[in-house]
Chain A
């Protein structure tokens, strides 16, 4: 039994109708009405009167507030809310160094923020390319999470054989490695609780008739290396200084990211894979750089996901207008393209016959505008995208900004129902 079969009776009818709207959009068929997604992270804190810290640390409170929001707005698709917010205990247990979160670097009422740093040095491309797993174990993991400190002392596995293999496992007796293993096991137990709560929330919502907008989350090969390994400026310099090695690593990453995403998505039972995109925007690189470094490994990955029966849903952050013609090159009816600042009408004109669209009420409007302005913005999207045949899933530009007043969320849903079913 999959998550799609959990609901019963009226809830099952509602679940199937909502899910069908998403499937119709993806297949470029006309749904019975324009679907609206409820997606956000720390907006739930504002909605439920919790601190950001409570949202990250208290599984039950977070699930309860998220469920209340879902039942109030009756969206067609929802975020895996617990999964995207309540990671605090897990982050703490693993000693995660790449993020600052409430109580760990930022205040109790501030969202988590990523620390852009050089987590892989420029001269480590060869190590990573030759043996990605060895590089992860002995170099990368101890750098990014303190629970793994001690893994530097692990043996070099490739080459261990026969009696050399027997002697080769001796490092596991070292105090540094033992301590690390104990911390990692303890962290994994917390992560197991976290994921258990996340799955319970997703299943509970499915039983009430609400499908998820995505299960697995993935990353593009370029962003994977830029954000999580080389850092923003390191990556930009590598485009000139280490072009060939970077291209080789991008190609390799597209392969292992595809395999890993397929494995994760199978566990979640959800086809739609959310892929936040950070480095594609028009301002971040030239068209030539985009077509050399960014797009080919990502397209290869998307094709791998599509071949495995999954639905990639890249969230194209910032303005990607100049990329629209290039990213059109995928099989029609296989993806959802979520746009943040790209003009949705323009995106529809270029991509409307190829992909479903998602978005994109502006963050400044949602946070500082009046409900009637939100209404007008929804009407604009309905008139110029949905009513002209665009398969639009209405949402904020990046879900709901943390500070969005409740009345603006209400205005978004009311306007969608008023103008598009």
Chain B
């Protein structure tokens, strides 16, 4: 992507976690200089690609993802009202992912990070929260039609909750309509086999790679 000096600076500050500098430039561009808000959001995505790459390479960790998400939210909140109606049609998404923490478990940090990473990687994500009953999963899946369903859980009780949830998908005749990935602090191959999920991931990057693999996007 061709970028002028100011645009390059915005991308660099965002990617380097220099929040104050990045927000100063973004605000100046949007509020004083009349920059195209879609262009600013595109620059943000370019920066997030760099953040994601640094995460994959082991240079960045959760704190950088959290701050990146925060910076993106701040800029998005300023940019989005400035987008003209006819320009704001939905961007083409790579695929639809429905994600939630299984019943009995209230943990959500990992799920939120996965949601954020899928979002900045171009997926449409619906997060249905924590302690989600089996019937809610089924209702939400029927309404949303996801390509991938992500089941999250931190506690060991989640092993059985995931198993029950997936068995219920089977009983509802929808098991083959989407792929299922599971994740959380204690999840490993033993748990994947126990629950009947298609795959598990140990971090958000693996979740993105799984979804890209399943939706036919080159990872």
Contacts and interface: CB of A to CB of B under 8 A. Distances in A.
Given A241-B19, A317-B185, 17 more contacts: A106-B104, A111-B155, A113-B106, A236-B66, A237-B63, A239-B63, A240-B63, A284-B61, A285-B63, A286-B59, A289-B61, A318-B185, A364-B187, A364-B188, A364-B190, A368-B190, A368-B194
A369 interface: yes
Interface string A203-244: 000000000000000000000000000001100110111000
B160 A403 contact: yes
Nearest to B190: A364
Contact of A283 (B62, B66, B186, B187): B62
B144 interface: no
Q: Which of B19, B156, B190 has the most CB of A within 10 A?
A: B156
B106 A237 contact: no
A289 B107 CA distance: 24
A244 to B, nearest CB: 15
B19 A240 contact: yes
B197 to A, nearest CB: 13
Contact of A113 (B60, B62, B107, B194): B107
Interface of A: 100, 106-107, 110-111, 113, 115-116, 232-233, 236-237, 239-241, 283-286, 289, 317-318, 362-365, 367-369, 401-403
Interface of B: 17, 19, 59-63, 66-67, 70, 104-109, 155-157, 159-160, 185-188, 190-191, 194, 202-203
B33 to A, nearest CB: 26
Contacts of B19: 240-241
A364 B187 CA distance: 7
A403 B106 contact: no
A284 B110 CA distance: 11
Contact of A110 (B66, B104, B191): B104
Given A283-B61, A286-B61, A363-B156, A115 B106 contact: yes
A240 B156 contact: no
Given A113-B107, A362-B190, A369-B190, A240 B62 contact: no
13 contacts: A233-B109, A237-B63, A237-B67, A240-B17, A283-B203, A289-B61, A289-B63, A317-B185, A364-B159, A364-B194, A365-B190, A367-B156, A367-B159
By DSSP majority rule, is chain B's interface helix, strand, loop, or mixed?
Answer: loop
B79 to A, nearest CB: 21
A142 B156 CA distance: 32
B157 A111 contact: yes
A403 B194 contact: no
A239 B68 CA distance: 13
Contact of A100 (B60, B106, B108, B157): B106
Given A111-B157, A115-B106, A403-B159, A236 B63 contact: yes
A263 B70 CA distance: 41
A364 B191 contact: yes
A100 B130 CA distance: 14
A362 B155 contact: no
A364 B109 contact: no
Contacts of B107: 113, 116
Contacts of B185: 317-318
A401 B190 CA distance: 15
Given A111-B157, A285-B62, A368 B104 contact: no
Nearest to B130: A113
Ranked nearest first, the 4 interchain pairs of A and B with the lowest CB-CB distance are A364-B190, A236-B63, A401-B156, A236-B66
Nearest to A369: B190
A367 B162 CA distance: 14
A283 B201 CA distance: 13
A366 B79 CA distance: 51
A239 B62 CA distance: 11
Contact of A363 (B59, B104, B186, B203): B186
B165 to A, nearest CB: 16
Nearest to B155: A111
Contacts of A363: 156, 186
